[in-house]
Structure 1
Amino acid sequence: MNQVFMTGIGMLSPLGKDRQASFAAALSAHSAIRRAPEALSAGLPNVLMAPAAVEPESLLDSQDAGLDRATQFSLVAAQEAMADAGIDETPSDADRFGVFVGIGFGGAHTLDAMFARYYTALFGGEHSRKRATVVHPLSVPRMMANASMAAVSMRYGLRGMGNTYSVACASSAIAAGEALRAIRHGYLDAALVIGTEAMLTPGSMVAWNALRVMARPNADDPAASCRPFDRDRSGFVLGEGAAALVLESRSRAERRGAVAHAELAGYGCTSDAHHLTAPSVDGQVAAMRQALDEARLAPDQIQYLNAHGTATDAGDVIETQSIVGVFGAASRQLAVSSTKAVHGHLIGAGGTLELALAVMAMESGSIPPTAHLEHPDPRCTLDYVPLQARHGCRIDAVMSNSFAFGGSNASLIARRMTG
């Protein structure tokens, strides 16, 4: 089977307009979390958000202005990843180059704006009521879940097999894993993998608030409100943005002289069949073990794990128990951190963003901290790299976890390039 190399990384996140700025902010524990404006919080008290560092339209051509925000994020991240991989035009093997996208809720901005306009017009004056049903003719293509996949494949002329995965918080981790399998088993030679999410809308905020999983603002500093593994944690903060990865078979990458960031070596994916919102140790353990088996690595060969770490009470405890269950004695030497403390929870984009940050940690030898972890929960017993980054670390392999509502679990493993 083919080895799969990661030759390009791109992102637009709450932490920065590109991968280098985002990683630097993660290392410095610089939080992008802030209070949401009243127009976004829809009258809800104490709503927080982690918006993208820059507007995606500012990094795109005018022709992209009408696209949904999630698609715009995709194009920005893809642009950086393809440039990083040294691919600046439609490749000659475009029939074997696919696009895999993960997104939790496609077209949220388009849908929210359409409904707001519709109901405002419907209950307005006589003239406005007559035009209530007049909406943009491309509304459906803009808000369909596969809008990003379509836009990116057309932008780069990529005609290989590709899919869109909407699996809540595991969406783009699964997209990366399925792209890995497609290349490993010879269905493709390369793939552009994207995780994207643009869910900072009034409708989304109301829905997420109803689940009672959103963090309460920290009284001293709203930016410090998301506290994974801390005894005072109260939930996560919604973020937005995208991250993209270029994956290639080893032979294709070597043939064109590409410099790879890492080998994407392992993928595990399971379903809990347990509960709609409550996590399961068994399902998480199985996903991590599958990833280790596929990568042919023992637990003690992983030096850093980017945790799902959402700062919910049950989620952090269950993930801790799952990691201990998989790593055993090796868990005492394992560095674990949750970067969601500073960039928020990007839902569908989280998997690729957090895998990319883990790979950059491996390349640089610098591990991002779990910010704001001032009072560790005694039930959370691992080394969570509290407060400050660690530098000068030898990291040969990393794992990234993404666990979703609905009971979907995905774990990915990347390892250092050798030879």
Structure 2
Amino acid sequence: MVTFSQLLELDVAGLERFADQWNDVIHRKVRQAREQFHDDVVRKLHRDHWRGEGGEAAQKYCDRVQVGFDALDAQVKSLSRFLDEEADGVRGTGGTEGLEGLQEIARELDRDAREAGMRIAEDGVVEWSNLTEADDPDGEAKYQKKKQAADLIQKRAQKVLKEVNEIDEWLTTSLKVVFGTPHNFETEDRRYNVFEPTVKDHIVRRQLNNVGAAASVRGWPNAAGLVKHYLDGSGKTVEVEPQQLMRDIPQFQRDVDKTLEKDVRKRPDGPFTTEWGSTAPVSDDGETSRDWYYALNHFQYRLVGEKHGDEITYRVDVRKRYDWGVPSEHRRTQDQFKGPFKVELEQADLAHLNSVGLARDFNVRGSSDTIRTSA
């Protein structure tokens, strides 16, 4: 748990320097190692015209080594970017969010507390003493004023600590998976069926199949259907109906409405296409929303249409790549499976099923019918 004094003393700039140096030094070394391997091994292998089963096996081995180099390089760059963004909320320097922004708020609160004769303890509780004289006619008013100030500082300090500890937990869990494992780190390469499946891959496939069956029993047909489609391995695109999604997922409808009000209505008359935005079901919004939460979680949407005064005619497009993610995206263990499904699955292990041909990535997409709205 991060304490208040630890937040004040945190070297955020040092974290950013480490991220930059990590990217510069380690990335360069990985690329140099890959180039040297190619020059010293792969090129000689081709030059010697090693053919037959032995030559084919050697070539496959070399290809896999190069895939490993590329996977490691992607994960190195991802770690640098991840640490940089968590430090100040943006890539590069100069951001005011993330740890840097929270530290600035903490320092401001610390100054305010000291100037008022107070002290912020490690857990964010404000400590102070009532020094008013017992016979001071304004004593009670002074006490209440100082108490209100202390309560406000404490509320803000504990809010900051809560956010910092959430970032700390996110860093802790994400750093454990950003390089994957010896078994799944190669999933950075999203080619289908390029490696031989292991016993673990078959176990993971059975576990995911059980998850799909459990989802079906729970009455979540979309979650069950997409798991089954992934395991069937056809890779065919799955079409969904955005209007049904908006009925099933209140948060999606809210996000579409927000895009209309905050974006489209502020545009000049004429055709428009919004940027792709991200939305996700809130699992507490009901069973249909929970079904899509386990089926898709985050997905993208945009609005395409025409605006004439207060009248807007548009369609909603949605898209999602159903691929379970890769280590460099630092997607951690599927802890949502712990509750309803009673099983933990590492996302990169699920993604690895595509690499070994036991499942296949696919696209989810759809376009709504024309929708008309007016102010």
Higher relative contact order at CA 8 Å, sep ≥6: structure 1 or structure 2? Answer: 1
Structure with a larger share of its residues in helix: 2
Structure with a larger share of its residues in strand: 1
Normalising to structure 1: TM-score of the pair? 0.22
Larger radius of gyration: 2
Normalising to structure 2: TM-score of the pair? 0.24
